[in-house]
Chains A and B, each alone.
Chain A
């Protein structure tokens, strides 16, 4: 079985305990206006061109015979600055598991492991499940998910993970639809299932100024989170620079100011992280 992966990051610092590798699954059903990984949105392989440094030398437009260049209408093997790559690489499940297990020694030494992220890993639930079957019991596996998936997909993946880090973004269904493109009902249902399951988990709330980071939303999310541990993540716009690289435009809807004061006070068990 094959999965589409757009990055594997070694020494990922904020994706669980210990030293970890994070695997980024390509494709996401959500379209959060603040998305940090625009190259993870599409379910298709796509060109990723670091345009900021491009000198328009035109070499990549030279006709070539490389089979892998054909779908993109550009030569991928000629840029003198190596600015052109393809976001999305197909991995065989066995090969990916083997690749990730290379670092098992340091994962074990440090209480670390592998984190599945994206994109939305649950969009490739079958592949996730197959990968987890190969990793479970060998390394600690965490998942970062929006929680937007059917109960079946959610459960068959989550049940094989050691730690679930799930986003809570907006409590209001209309706001959720407006800023992420999808209904939050499946997410809230899955959040409840997660809480009931006894599985080690953590809710993460991206603090997007004027969108999620409002007193009203934070209070409402606190209700949903209940006793579960919560991490409030502060936001920066560094990802905006990546949007043109995949031919997307960064949203102008993000405001400047968010909730002022300590947002953890609304929650039973929350910490802030930069």
Chain B
């Protein structure tokens, strides 16, 4: 590892203090000039490029970092209020969660697409080249012939070798962020970079070690400015890299570059890029062992996705085979298509425990049977989807000229709904079935009265529902089957529904931050969850389910077909660090992951948690600045999170030796 580079950018982060604000209220300037959105985005980009100061450190090979801090908005707050009245604005309004086609531009160079570009894109390219030329001048000034030569070639022309290709990627990624797009994902890096890598390896330009060192230098570049790319929390920045997986010609894409990416991440132990590994029934155990070595590093990745299930599921949703085979993940785990995908996979989420709670409260007093309660729940899920679908009309994004240059049309315009609190909802139904209907040991009145009182009037019922009732993840068919029934019902409710862009709606198993936000919208629930308590993350057991162990957990969450709910959202397994003691135990964890995939699981995330360290870190944040945890689909430095997110990590189920 390049210690100097690591010390400067990762430990000291000295460069961040050197940044200066742009110091202009562009929104107000543009508003008073009456500029159109296209002109504003183009002009801000030009201004930002001109304001940037090239910085090259003697110890770095891959360069470009931000010298201006946060970008001013292109609209004023008042303007946003007006804008939001008519079209639907997704999140911040800027383009996000896309997987651009880096490959094409890295191969051809920007000049090759200049003529066919719009007038705004031409200006954007000019501004971009202007800053790159200043980097070249700075390189010459510092006597860095290597960089001067690279910037003499890229990004005007296509990359000729691995290093030029890496620098070219960095340039594109840097400018996508500078344009104001966010959650700019990395895509199938080991596939589109492989020709450059292989050519140089074959030519003997790199050894395994020197290639790894260069790759690490490149990986550090994702962390230089990531503090400027804040999502819901620091670390939620969407820099997802996908490795391995089926290639369009049907072979397994895992290659030496994939392997080196895993190793680079393992050595650096930094939160970006966030590694995703595509696997299938044919993936050999050693690949899982490599992945598990990275899990051991405690970064909360790789996240695994199962080609056998995901590709089939995407095809079922109408994706063409050649696109489905190329799937990547968005910022977290939503499956999207690079290049031609224009999906908004996180447009909304359905709060299942709330819908189940409403059904229970409305239906139980009628004295009807359990089938009736199920029907009531089904109606609620359908009604909620039907209520939500029309909300997402006329979606508008702030134009983004550079991003458009890296896209191949907008072939897929599907919207994804997260499915939140699946386990809590299934557990609530299972508890009612067991105690109110089958055993008849709890009356409807008693249950509802306890829910209203947040169980304070009935500690015995709390204990029964919370700790003794059948729960999803515990190998109890009654709960698992209801969980999958909810998924099927969710898929049915969205089936055949279309949006005004010609796309469909996709059902998913993710929560995103809704394991906190949605959980606040419902009081105590029949699974023994008290008011205000969080749900489990994504497709995972509730926080207090007495899961007997990871084998049962996996069996429960792969009990039925998952191909109908293909928006993404993993089962999460948390392990104590002691599990990864030696090659033998690492191999066993790898076997466990393989088992999950072979059983038809769609997505899996494994976290390594050192609970003692987390407790200490809450007391002494400064002493634990490099401590990393996985949140819901991204990894973060623990001490940079709000306390409620910290606490949730500490409350999750954990498996130890």
Contact = CB atoms under 8 A, between A and B. Distances in A.
B548 A8 contact: yes
Nearest to B598: A109
A11 B466 contact: no
Contacts of B256: none
B657 A19 contact: no
Interface stretch (B364-372, B442-450, B456-464, B504-512): B456-464
Nearest to B552: A10
Contacts of A274: 581-582
Contacts of A78: 459-460, 463
A70 interface: no
Of residues A13, A18, A273, which shows the largest number of chain B Cβ atoms within 10 Å of its Cβ?
A13
B550 interface: yes
B579 to A, nearest CB: 6
A105 B594 CA distance: 12
B29 interface: no
Contacts of A241: none
Chain A facing B: main interface SS: loop
A59 B468 CA distance: 17
Interface string B532-570: 000000000000100011111001000000000000000
Contacts of B466: 82
Of residues A11, A21, A77, A105, which shows the largest number of chain B Cβ atoms within 10 Å of its Cβ?
A11
Interface string A7-23: 01111011000110100
Nearest to B460: A78
Interface string B565-587: 00000000000000101101100
Contacts of A105: 595
A13 B550 contact: no
A9 B551 CA distance: 10
A21 B552 CA distance: 11
Interface residues of A, number: 25
B588 A19 contact: yes
B459 A80 contact: yes
B6 interface: no
A10 B459 contact: no
Nearest to B580: A13
Given A11-B592, A13-B579, A106 B463 contact: no
Contacts of B544: 82
A21 B594 CA distance: 18
B595 A11 contact: no
Contacts of B462: 80
B585 A13 contact: yes
B463 A11 contact: no
B129 interface: no
B591 interface: yes
A103 interface: yes
Nearest to B550: A11
B292 to A, nearest CB: 13
Interface in B579-613: 579, 581-582, 584-585, 588, 591-592, 594-595, 598
A19 B579 contact: no
Contacts of B549: 9-11, 21
B551 A109 contact: no
Interface string A91-114: 000000000001101100110000
Interface in A250-274: 273-274
Contacts of B551: 10-11, 19, 21, 103, 106
B460 A19 contact: no
Contacts of A10: 548-552
Contacts of A18: 588, 591
Contacts of B550: 10-11
A82 B655 CA distance: 18
A109 B591 contact: yes
Contacts, number: 66
Contacts of B286: none
Given A11-B550, A11-B655, A82 B591 contact: no
Interface string B88-120: 000000000000000000000000000000000
Nearest to A64: B460
Contacts of B588: 11, 13, 18-19, 110
A8 B592 CA distance: 18
Contacts of B548: 8, 10
A98 B592 CA distance: 21
A79 interface: yes
B467 interface: yes
Contacts of A19: 551, 588, 591-592, 595
Interface in B457-485: 459-460, 462-464, 466-468, 475
B459 A106 contact: no
Nearest to B464: A77
A80 B579 contact: no
Given A11-B551, A21-B551, A106-B551, A77 B657 contact: no
Contacts of A273: 582
Contact of B463 (A14, A79, A102): A79
Contacts of B584: 13
B463 A82 contact: yes
A13 B551 CA distance: 13
A10 B592 CA distance: 11
Contacts of B464: 77
Contacts of B475: 102
B459 A109 contact: no
Contacts of B552: 10
A11 B653 CA distance: 15
A11 B464 CA distance: 27
A14 B657 contact: yes
A138 B579 CA distance: 27
Given A18-B588, A21-B551, A109-B591, A13 B463 contact: no
A273 B544 CA distance: 33
Nearest to A107: B551
Nearest to B455: A80
Contacts of A103: 551
Nearest to A59: B459
Contacts of B657: 13-14
Nearest to A7: B548
B468 A110 contact: no
A13 B591 CA distance: 12
A248 B544 CA distance: 28
B460 A109 contact: no
Interface string A115-131: 00000000000000000
A6 to B, nearest CB: 14
Nearest to B458: A78
Contact of A82 (B467, B579, B585): B467
A213 to B, nearest CB: 20
A82 to B, nearest CB: 4
A77 B585 contact: no
B78 to A, nearest CB: 50
Contacts of A9: 549
A12 to B, nearest CB: 8
Nearest to B475: A102
24 contacts: A8-B548, A10-B548, A11-B551, A11-B588, A13-B581, A18-B588, A19-B588, A21-B551, A64-B460, A77-B460, A78-B459, A79-B463, A80-B459, A80-B462, A82-B466, A82-B467, A82-B544, A102-B475, A103-B551, A106-B551, A109-B594, A110-B591, A110-B595, A274-B582
Interface of B: 459-460, 462-464, 466-468, 475, 544, 548-552, 555, 579, 581-582, 584-585, 588, 591-592, 594-595, 598, 655, 657
The 3 A-B pairs of least Cβ separation, nearest first, read: A10-B549, A110-B591, A82-B467
Given A10-B550, A59-B459, 5 more contacts: A11-B549, A13-B581, A13-B585, A13-B657, A77-B460
